Amino acid sequence: MPGSPTMNRWLSRIIPRETLLDRGALHPFTLMMLLLITISQVIIYVLEFSHFPMGRMLALDFSNPQIQQLFFVLTHYAPVSETVGGNGFEGLHFLASLLLFSACAFSLLTCGPLVEAYLGTRKTFACFLFTTAAHALMASALPQHVAFGMLGFATFLLTFAVLNTFENRDDKQEAENDLRVALLLMCFALAALFAAFLGHASYHSLLPAVAVGPAAALAAFVANRRMQMRAVHRQGAGQVGKLYFVEEVDLLTKEEIQTRMDRLLEKISSGGIGSLSGDERRFLSKASGRLKTQEQDKG
């Protein structure tokens, strides 16, 4: 088929050719969530087709809260069935559900591993909890008091991946970044179209999701950078994004270290230890330890 090799190369850049076990070992949270929403979606479709309102049972309804509603992120089928034997499986809602699920699943597949590798599994899970809780709280302020789906976390992953790509400044990732931006815009479009044209009021809860995700991603990205900078400032070395910082004493010769130490000691003798800044105190401590180590090695 013409053009298929090009398409395969493009897809191989977007979705790395890793085995499922390899990806699961490196990014367990991403794989777990992808499997959970996929299995849940199949079960929900089967039960809704049988006129059992599984979508409504899992959707978070603040007017009638129940324990199973804590798993509202697992359902991407709008809670349209009023009772057992009610509306059941409907073609238009099936199409909307399929589009919503596809956007969330593809976001997990393409951006989840990148974000989890950058933040780590624990921080990624914390971001998932924060984004999900914020989505639920914002949805509770709407007249319908209903929330469903993982669109909030999906837009979080897409936005965070785009920010990470901008930080790397890698031209080879332009195709991936274009896809992420397009998918993010599609999420916004789907939320707006569903809320405007589909009859059920629960679709309005998707609007808070697309608002929460990017805001949480920006906050998480900035907070993580500040934590990295604080660690570098405290330890004197470390990594911030793709930049590596080393201790200043590692970049100086022994004579330069000794000269600066002499100046700092003169400053202490004239103004006391309080006259030194925090950076000067840290340098003096590191430099003293470094010189002692060198003397011991010589001895």
Q: Is the pLDDT of residue 231 over 80?
A: no
Residue 67 domain-assigned?
yes
What's the rounded Cα separation, in Å, for the pair 191 and 211? 10
Same domain, 252 and 104: no
Within a domain: residue 280? yes
Residue 257 lies in a domain: yes
Q: Do 165 and 278 have their domain in common? A: no
**Would 237 be classed as within a structural domain?**
no
Higher pLDDT, 91 or 101: 101
Domain final residue pick, 232, 256, 280: 232
Same domain, 268 and 208: no
Q: Examine the domain organization and report whether 53 and 142 are in the same domain.
A: yes
Collect all residues with Cβ–Cβ distance below 8 Å to 152 and sequence separation of at least 6. 131, 132, 134, 135, 208, 209, 210, 212, 213, 216
| CB neighbours of residue 200 within 10 Å | 18
Q: Is residue 243 situated within a structural domain? A: no
- CA atoms of 288 and 274, how far apart (whole Å): 18
What is the extent of the structural domain holding 93?
4-232
Same domain, 77 and 112: yes
Q: Which of 208, 232, 256 is the last residue of a domain?
A: 232
Same domain, 134 and 256: no
Q: Are residues 157 and 287 in the same domain?
A: no
Record the tokens describing residue 40, joined without a space: 């849940």
pTM of the predicted model over 0.85? no
Instruction: Based on the fold, state whether residues 43 and 185 are members of the same structural domain.
Output: yes
**252-290: pLDDT as tens digits:** 566 766 777 788 788 888 877 777 776 677 777 776 766
**Do 78 and 103 reside in the same domain of the chain?**
yes
Query: Is residue 240 one of the residues assigned to a domain?
Result: no
Q: How many domains does the chain have?
A: 2
At 240 the pLDDT is 54
Query: What pLDDT, in 10s, does the model give residues 100-157?
Result: 999 999 999 889 988 998 888 999 999 999 999 999 999 988 887 899 999 999 999 9
- What pLDDT is recorded for position 148? 93
Co-location of 171 and 266 in the same domain:
no
Same domain, 138 and 166: yes
Is residue 238 assigned to a domain? no
Same domain, 223 and 254: no
Q: Which amino acid is at 144?
A: Q
| End residue of a domain, out of 202, 232, 262 | 232
Whether the predicted pLDDT of 250 surpasses 50? yes
